[in-house]
Amino acid sequence: MPVTRRRFTQMDSPEERATVQADLDAWGYERALVKDELANSVWIRYGKDLIFWISRTDQDNDGLFHICIRPGARGALNSRRVFTCVDIVGELLGFDGLMALTKERVKSDYLNRLGWTECEDGYYRDLGDD
């Protein structure tokens, strides 16, 4: 009997991007997307419950990381597997590091455990191996 597994998929088409916006709204994402964010970011979905995206910043060669999880699925999906994918996507995009703009205690504790460092604007993670 086949097992239903969550998979990572990139959201490229206008139709897929429209579902991303609808899900962010339905899941209560904390802010409205800024101009051109939907079109100019790389969007990844993990199953039906998690979306993350990485966009360019004005900072050197760093990406800006965002994540939104369906409220009923929070906790279970914020996994090392997801953050390994985040690192790999950031590297494939050619970024030296990623910024996460959050001061929220639950998120920040988890980011610390995954090797993110607190900085002035939130959290930062160097990408790549030494």
pLDDT digits (tens, 9 = 90+) for 65-98: 998 888 887 665 667 888 899 999 999 999 999 9
Tokens 């060669």 -> residue: 61
CA 35/CA 79 separation, integer angstroms: 30
Q: 20 in helix, strand or coil? A: helix
49: containing domain: 8-100
Q: Which residue has the higher pLDDT, 44 or 58?
A: 44
Phi, psi angle pair for 55, to nearest 5°: -125, 165
Which CATH number goes with the domain that contains 37? 3.40.630
Contact 93, 42 (CB under 8 A): yes
- Percentage helix, strand, coil, to 5, in the chain? 30, 25, 40
Q: Looking at the domain assignment, is residue 69 inside a domain?
A: yes
Looking at the structure of the chain, the number of domains it has is 1
- Within a domain: residue 58? yes
Residue 62, amino acid: D
pLDDT > 70? residue 108: no
Q: Is residue 106 part of a domain?
A: no
Q: What pTM value is reported for the model?
A: 0.85
Read off the pLDDT of residues 4-57 as tens digits, 9 standing for 90 and up.
Answer: 678 899 998 988 888 888 999 999 988 888 878 888 899 999 988 899 999 987
Asked if the structure places residue 17 within a domain, the reply is yes
